[in-house]
Amino acid sequence: MAGFKDFLNTLLKTFFFTKKHVKLGIYGPPNAGKSTIANRICKDWTGEEMSSVSKIPHETREIISKEKVIVKHRGKSLTLNLIDTPGIATKIDYEDFLKFRMTPKQAKQRAKEATKGVIESIKWLDNMDAVLVVLDATQNPYSQVNITIIGNLVARKIPVLIIANKMDLKRASIKRIEAAFPQYGVVGISAQYGDNIDELYDLLFKVTK
């Protein structure tokens, strides 16, 4: 009888009291390192990467998702549906891509795809259970795009964790980001080198609980 009760409890907990998957969106402006972070998390827990990365802005121009990423950290477990999104921008000029040795045709095509990517990112905002907002710690954080993204998430009551990425670079400053968004948790990492990733996982469990 006791065995049956345990089984019933486990069944109830599994289906009713725990969330099966947490949809974790990775948002931010272009070239902040969203895909590098997505790859880092994905590689840590599945052994494979999910997105391509590039120095050319708007490398991710479509939503990329990876299901069943099981994060096991300090005795806790979390199943993520990890969603890497195109960078959100207010302007896209195909001529900017010409600096990266693209032909005008390639640059125009990339710009066209990038505009669609921004629209997709915004549409997906409503689908998220929690969001990592990735900011380049070497850049001024007071951009309207950053404020709009975070403001939208708060308005939709979606939990937010701000990531100050590229902390390995000399000009990086987590203090500047903390000062700009004092009411949110900020974690400074280097996604490229894996610095401070453990703290990211600590806060990830807090944000998604």
Query: How far apart are CB 16 and another protein at their closest, in Å?
Result: 32
Query: How far apart are CB 183 and another protein at their closest, in Å?
Result: 11
Only one of the segments 21-29, 128-136, 143-151, 187-195 lies at the binding site for another protein (rule: CB under 8 A); that segment is 143-151
- Residue count of the chain: 209
- In whole angstroms, what is the distance from residue 188 CA to residue 168 CA? 10
Site for another protein in 33-62 (CB under 8 A): none
Is residue 100 within 8 Å of 58, Cβ to Cβ? no
Is residue 29 within 8 Å of 117, Cβ to Cβ? no
Residue type, 96: D
Site for another protein in 176-195 (CB under 8 A): 179-180
Sign of CA dihedral 132, 136, 140, 143: negative
| Of the residues 144, 157, 171, 183, which one makes contact with another protein according to CB under 8 A | 144
| Of the residues 54, 119, 169, 175, which one makes contact with another protein according to CB under 8 A | 119
Query: Which residues contact residue 34 at a Cβ distance below 8 angstroms, ignoring those fewer than 6 apart?
Result: 26, 27, 28, 60, 84, 85, 87, 134
Only one of the segments 25-33, 91-99, 128-136, 192-200 lies at the binding site for another protein (rule: CB under 8 A); that segment is 91-99
Task: Concatenate the DSSP letters of all residues of 94-139 into one string.
Answer: HHHHHTTT--HHHHHHHHHHHHHHHHHHHHHGGG-SEEEEEEETTS
Only one of the segments 47-55, 66-74, 137-145, 157-165 lies at the binding site for another protein (rule: CB under 8 A); that segment is 137-145
Asked if 127 interacts with another protein (CB under 8 A), we say: no
The residue ranges that bind another protein (CB under 8 A) are 88-94, 111, 115-116, 118-119, 122, 125, 140, 142-145, 147-148, 151-152, 154-155, 179-180
